[in-house]
Amino acid sequence: MAAEVVMPKLGMAMKEGTVSTWNKKVGDSVSKGDMIASINSEKIEMEIEAPQDGVILDILVQEDVGVPPGTIICYVGNPNEQLTEQNSSANELQAPKNEVAAAISLEEPPANAASSKKSKETVRISPIARKIAESENINIETIQGTGPKGRITKADVEKVLAERASESSPQTVERDNPAINKETLPVAGMRKVIAGRMHNSLLNSAQLTINMKADVTDLLSLQREIKEVIQQRHSVKISLTDFIARAVVLSLQEHKQMNSAYIDNEIQLYNHVHLGMAVALENGLVVPVVQHAEKMSLVELAAEIKTRAADARQGQLSTDRMQGSTFTITNLGAYGVEYFTPVLNPPETGILGVGATEDVPMYKGDDLQRRNVLPLSLTFDHRVLDGAPAANFLGTIKQYLEQPILLLL
């Protein structure tokens, strides 16, 4: 019997997933577990596996087309198997609400209008493409659809917009000068998802970043004292990032408003801490999530962070380990960056940016000492909380880092 392959839900705020690449075509044989397509959404790019042995009977969603989670994107079944009427009915039921084959009928003008023949015809267009066309005042009858059966896709509308912008802008000297060499990189796959998600994050939230520095001299000393014992007993190499993560988890439990999400004009406060740890990959960025970090000791948290990061770099991170984060940490210290402005991972309220530790002269009482200072950058959603409570949260993190014994309790 034919098996449905659906677009998975990759995050609690996910509204759309895109098929970036089909590795198989209709009629190709597949074995259970074969990678048949790549999909992406919300900074995440993953492979879709064949649910059973058989052949690709039908592909319903083309490349670069976005559809809601739960949408059927293809069928896998036995060779020469015919899709049943039930399968077809399911496709028709889902068509109006996704990118597969949605169609609209243009409003019919009066019957005596002689030139209204085309406006009475049905124009096949995806909901997203229609929304963009309406907002940009584009006549959909003039768009050449490249989707199945001439359906107008989001890419078709974006092409029209690009052509309109090109026609309205003056020719530059660079464009006309053949002596100037330049390289153009397509924005696709994970890069395209990240670009869109970060742009939407800035458009749809009131983001503000505040900075603070913490004296981590005693923390680094404690790390040196206990790292060998922890590695011998637990086979875990404890790092500064692990201490920072522990400080963040404890601080979130004291400042619940920061451990929240802004969803549908409501602030949802969480009692659990699902900690996102940004990991840079060769082709983009992923955010593995450590679920229920509030229940873990420092050593347990360190082990989970390293396991998630390793899985992410090896492309073995499962979908459930990339969703549901309530707060995120991103660290650019390894690149020599001090303070920076991290962008929120929606719908989260906060994200902590960690910079590079610096040796500085600092007075401790009357004594001038060499101390280690860690720059911290907190971006928060001003719709959820104001500057003072955000500063208090960052100050609590600073307190834990400067009194590291508290992180072991």
Catalytic residue list: 382, 386
Task: Read off the amino acid at residue 48.
Answer: I
Helix, strand, or coil here: 138?
Answer: coil
What ranges make up the beta strands (E) of 66-206? Answer: 66-67, 72-77, 103-105, 122-124
Q: What are phi and psi of 76, to 5 degrees?
A: -120, 125
- Phi-psi label, residue 241: left if phi above 0, alpha if psi -120 to 50, beta otherwise: alpha
Inter-CA distances, 184 with 160, 165, 194, 215, 269, Å: 20, 18, 18, 44, 44
Cβ 379 vs Cβ 343: under 8 Å: yes
Within 10 angstroms of residue 316's Cβ, the number of other Cβ atoms is: 9
Inter-CA distances, 387 with 164, 382, 393, Å: 43, 8, 10
DSSP secondary structure of 300-313:
HHHHHHHHHHHHHH
